Structure 1
Amino acid sequence: MMSPGPINGEHPIARHPIRSARIVGDDGEESVVATVYCPLKERSATVPECESCHRFHALHFDAAARTTSVVCHSGPASRGEERADPPRGVGGPVNPEMPLANIMTRDVVCVRPEITVDAISALLVRHGISGMPVVDAEGRPIGMVSRADVLRAAQERGDTGESERLTLRRDEVPPLDMDQGFHVVEPVKTTARDIMTPVVVQMHESASIRQAASLMAYEGIHRLPVTSDDGKVVGILSSLDVLRWLGRCCGYLIPVARKRA
């Protein structure tokens, strides 16, 4: 498909991918928050908000990449703004001022602090990721949980899980006939809140790659929650995202990140 050019003297049409943040609760239910980064306002916007803007042109679905984008007349390129149907070639000037919204992982999986370690482990395997943000009821990051945290919790727990004693009322019948001195216990469930690393490092989506890379190197971290104006998670930046961006700028053919089956 040909790249759209100026229409009736307007600016070239730009394409902005729709991002999704999936928040998984302790009951296994998922809620999805979809947003679009507006380079003119330098903040996230909802799809209905984009559709009501006078610059809105259409919604575009890329069957090959399986992504949906908002197409709009957003004016001249701003700090690395994406254009519709970019050229297939690679290479170009390295722009460290490009906003994180352009290179971060747009489909991010988040969990609530009450979710169990077993559920976290299943999510890591299912989505082929090594870590995820832990968010509060408003979708704001309060911690990060990684594969290393899960393995550490399993090692500390060992073969026998911790238990807590149950107190039965007199009118309740014990499930088993037990001799004197025995009591009923149930395993204590280890949750994300118990093993997560409290979030002390996060960045706004309009922050530059230069700032994020420097902060990640200084703090010695591999992933960084990316937030919008209201503090909610809209993406996640990993060290691989930065390396992938740099490799493409240097002219190497690097495919999009693939999720493991």
Structure 2
Amino acid sequence: MKNLREMDGVSLPVHRVSTGLGEGEEEIRWTVKCPNSHHVVDLETCEGCPHLEHIQQEAAGPQRLLCHAEAFSPAPLPGEGNELLLPPQLEHTRVDELMTQDVYCVGEEMLAEELAELFATRKVSGVPVLDEDERLVGVVSRADLLRASTEEKDTPRLHPERAGATACELMNAAPVVVREGTTVPQAAAVMADANVHRVLVVSSEDRVVGVLSAMDVVRWLAALSLGDKASHTS
């Protein structure tokens, strides 16, 4: 058997999960998708793995790591119950292959005023809310705390009744989520049923590991379509 360090490695991107705690404080969790387990894990888990070769550090934090696992197994196919008659590539692609892994979250105690500023500066429509154990407990949206503008040029402002409220008090405690390993068609069905344009992807421990949007699915389908056309013309 080859020594691990003699085998070709794979370079994996490191992703950032940021959680705003209010008053300018922020916690950062670095994650990477393990090529063997096919789950998103905390980078500190990789630091104790014998297959780890190197973590590339830059001023902004860890960027990539080189992994020398003995074998990179393919992702397991989803279980029975998906009755959609789709080509295998469509039927079995998992959400963790398409989702955005760099996610910004907030803590339960972040105030409405800080949330309003967050929505304005980051141009997002909603953020996941995490408890002190970094587990998902809800989602706060712009509509939960902002008063609609009367004119197009007006910037939406914090609703007076929301002033001083915390994320925990404002959030929707039943966010639309899918589990890591869910197939893209299943996730699309969840979005359609809930009439939403994005879903949070969570691990078995209810930790946020990514976000999948309808646009992610559309881009993926477009890329597949272009690839099929290219193969038929070549």
User: One fold, TM greater than 0.5?
Assistant: yes
Q: SS of the counterpart of 1:251?
A: helix
Q: 1:13 to 1:197 in 2, by over 3 A?
A: same
How far residue 61 of structure 1 moved from its aligned partner, in angstroms, is 7.3
Query: Contact 1:79 / 1:97 at 8 angstroms: preserved in 2?
Result: no
1:58 — aligned with what?
A: 54
Written as runs of structure 1 = structure 2, the 5 A alignment for 1:1-261 is 10=7, 13-60=9-56, 68-74=63-69, 75-76=71-72, 78-79=74-75, 94-152=89-147, 161-162=160-161, 189-251=164-226
Which deviates the most, 38-47 or 130-139?
A: 38-47
User: Please, what is the CA RMSD of the aligned residues?
Assistant: 3.4
Distance 1:201 1:209 in 2: 15
Runs of 5+ consecutive residues of structure 1 not aligned to the other structure: 1-6, 81-92, 163-186, 253-261
How far residue 60 of structure 1 moved from its aligned partner, in angstroms, is 4.8
Distance 1:94 1:61 in 2: 35
Distance 1:106 1:67 in 2: 14
Q: TM-score, normalised by structure 2?
A: 0.71
How far residue 240 of structure 1 moved from its aligned partner, in angstroms, is 2.1
Q: 1:99 to 1:142 in 2, by over 3 A?
A: same
Q: Once the two structures are aligned, what percentage of the paired residues are identical? A: 31
Structure 1 residue identity aligned to 2:37:
K
Q: 1:231 to 1:79 in 2, by over 3 A?
A: same
The structure with more radius of gyration: 1
Q: TM-score, normalised by structure 1?
A: 0.65
Q: SS of the counterpart of 1:101?
A: helix
Q: 1:140 to 1:107 in 2, by over 3 A?
A: same
| Greater share of helix | 2
Q: 1:99 to 1:15 in 2, by over 3 A?
A: farther
Structure 1 residue identity aligned to 2:12:
H
Runs of 5+ consecutive residues of structure 2 not aligned to the other structure: 77-87, 151-156, 228-234
Structure 2 residue identity aligned to 1:231:
D
Q: 1:39 to 1:213 in 2, by over 3 A?
A: farther
Distance 2:159 2:113 in 1: 15
